Amino acid sequence: MIKIEKSDRLNSLPPYLFKEIDRKKEEVRKSGVDIIDLGVGDPDMPTPLHIIEALNRAALDPANHRYPSYTGMDDFNKAVARWYKRRFNVDIDYKKEVVTLIGSKEGIAHIPLAFINNGDIALVTSPGYPVYDIGVKFAGGQTYFMDLLKQNNFLPDLGAVPKEIAPKAKMMFINYPNNPTSAVATGEFFEETVAFAEMNNIIVCHDAAYTEMAFDGYKPKSFLETAGAKDVGIEFHSLSKTYNMTGWRIGFAVGRAEVIQALGQVKSNIDSGAFQAIQIAGIAALEGDQTCLKETNSEYTSRRDILVDGLVNLGFSVERPKATFYLWIEVPQGYSSAETASRLLTEAGIVVTPGNGFGAAGEGYIRMALTVGKQRLKEVIERIGSVGF
């Protein structure tokens, strides 16, 4: 039997946040506790029927059973370009400025391979989606963390990036509406980001997975709406949260042609593209009846209000988010993020995500996802009240 030794890059990584949460959750579940899971951002509502029907029809067509295009079907990429024009009034060249992804996570993880050499620096937000940092590390790069703080409305202070770091940085990852803080970006912040990127020759990667999950009439902007944005970067999108399609693995990136084509070059050497039938279903999602989106957001609005109102009544400090399906909640005085999450799991059977799992600057917070029904959320409030922080 041979000796197995993991690579240094694997050994240097912490346990993936949500995998570790699943492990702890199963430990408690095996003891007989009824778990209410608000930990992972995985929609509980079904994919709309017209999207499923489009998949069914496409899956029966033998033409879709062969290798797809590495960078996406023309028809899907055209649909993406039309959607961008309708939604954001941004013109996209479907031939050069779109690449289809096997979920946006895949593209985010792979894009550092196109631009990061050993020792190169990438700017990453903290707290933030762990894959930004992990992708940079897999490519041999170094991460400089930009803290998202309450006093800055959870926007990075680009002026605080050290003068010895900014000119050396090759990439920057930002994400608005934001996971995990649910903060939203202003047009002024995007303008500042473009200017900062131009000054320092940095590729901006904007993760826009939550632009369609918004409430109370708020309409999040695309980074690419900003003058000059397409000169400095790209934007990642996913159908996962918008259309309850997390398991389908379909997303896309759009923006600066050279960046998109470099990501496509990486993908052509790593994967063989997204199943065409799923791309056809993606077209149905982007171009079909959008009533489903209004209904989903209406449901999330009701869930948000139940949870926010209940938590505030219990004495917690939490903002009412304009977008995403997350709440970013300050932990009770005297508790750490991990201690709060542990007590909620072991004493109330509620799974939440400790804020420090998203980065050091997330300490002092927990994240809850609005991924269970209204009645269960009312039960969440009752259970938290019984814990007695």
d(CA 133, CA 81): 29
The pLDDT of residue 144 is 98
The pLDDT of residue 356 is 93
The pLDDT of residue 22 is 75
Residue 3 DSSP one-character state: P
- First-residue to last-residue Cα distance in the chain: 52
Q: Which two tokens stand for residue 55?
A: 């998949």
Residues 188, 154 contacting (CB under 8 angstroms): no
Could you tell me which CATH number the domain at 49-287 has?
A: 3.40.640.10
Cα 327 to the chain's mean position, in Å?
Answer: 14
d(CA 38, CA 293): 21
- CATH C-level class of 8-46+291-387: alpha beta
Whole-structure pTM value: 0.96
The pLDDT of residue 17 is 66
Q: Which two tokens stand for residue 121?
A: 């620096």
Domain ranges of the chain: 8-46+291-387, 49-287
Report helix, strand or coil for 316: coil
d(CA 38, CA 377): 9
pLDDT tens, the chain, 389 aa long: 999 999 988 888 777 666 767 777 788 788 888 999 999 899 999 999 999 999 999 999 999 999 999 899 999 999 999 999 999 999 999 999 999 999 999 999 999 999 999 999 999 999 999 999 999 999 999 999 999 999 999 999 999 999 999 999 999 999 999 999 999 999 999 999 999 999 999 999 999 999 999 999 999 999 999 999 999 999 999 999 999 999 999 999 999 999 999 999 999 999 999 999 999 999 999 999 999 999 999 999 999 999 999 999 999 999 999 999 999 999 999 999 999 999 999 899 999 999 999 999 999 999 999 999 999 999 999 999 999 88
Per-residue pLDDT of 24-48, as tens digits, reads 778 878 888 899 999 989 999 999 9
Cα 300 to the chain's mean position, in Å?
Answer: 17
Per-residue pLDDT of 40-70, as tens digits, reads 899 999 999 999 999 999 999 999 999 999 8
Residues 208, 129 contacting (CB under 8 angstroms): no
Per-residue pLDDT of 213-247, as tens digits, reads 999 999 999 999 999 999 999 999 999 999 999 99
d(CA 298, CA 292): 10
